[in-house]
Structure 1
Amino acid sequence: SSNNVELIFIVDDVLDSGSFFDKEAGMLLDHIEIFMDMIEKGNYKDASYVAACSPKGVLRNMETLLKFKALKKPPNEDISPWLFHCKVLAETALEAPFIPDMIISLECAKAACSENHLELLYKWIAEERLIDGFFFFKTK
């Protein structure tokens, strides 16, 4: 019908104009800016959720995880910002665009082990919130 043809032309015009992509890129940049501002202000817990829930998972990566790893553990906290971010990544894994890859999963396992929180690691593996292939080694 003619309505479908009109819709196709409208969609093509929007995509050709770049406005759709410009808006999306702007949204991603705004999200990254909010995240960086929170990190700079020491608000690592909120920054962790902003990163974990970032559009298209743009901040669910190793570079972001290493930012948290570099932060010092506040004296009044039970876990480091590194482990906290791993915990948030795992908590949001099933709703995110993708679960943490092998390298990030290994980094999260190291964080849990180094701070004696094996219960978190067991939970993440049992609930398939991390890629667990590296935990099970086959012997010949």
Structure 2
Amino acid sequence: MDLEKLFLHEKAVNILVKIYEYEMSGKDAYPLCISREVHSPYSYISKVLGIFEKAAIIESKFEGRIRRIKLTEDGRELARQFLQIKNLLNRDFLARKKLRILESTLKDLNDNDPTQLLPIKAELENIKTQDNDVIKKVEELKKKVEEMLNGYP
């Protein structure tokens, strides 16, 4: 199987990232543990690991009946890149867009009219997300709006 096609499958990426996470936490990676973590049959994990090994992405070593898996340098770099992509894809793009619009609107406001701040404050309250960057910026913007509202007579 072509590596490019393999990595278009979510499970293959999850397997590689899981091995990387094991290594980063100082734990050994084993096919059975990976199988449980990514919710895939052991036979599929074994097949993918075989492809990874042929492509020099991982190395495996048998200790008795136990197969220990380790990423190669190239495998580690590949896993880092996929983890970075996964983190990018986990962003809340809609909330980020709303936030940019609100920031722009706030910037363009007429300083003499505090009533224009109230809809912005309400919209900020309505942004619900798990994206930590957005949460932080929303809190900063709320604080700025409150300061502006408190500055009006």
Compute the TM-score of the two structures, normalised by the length of structure 2. 0.30
Higher strand residue share: 2
Q: TM-score, normalised to structure 1's length?
A: 0.32
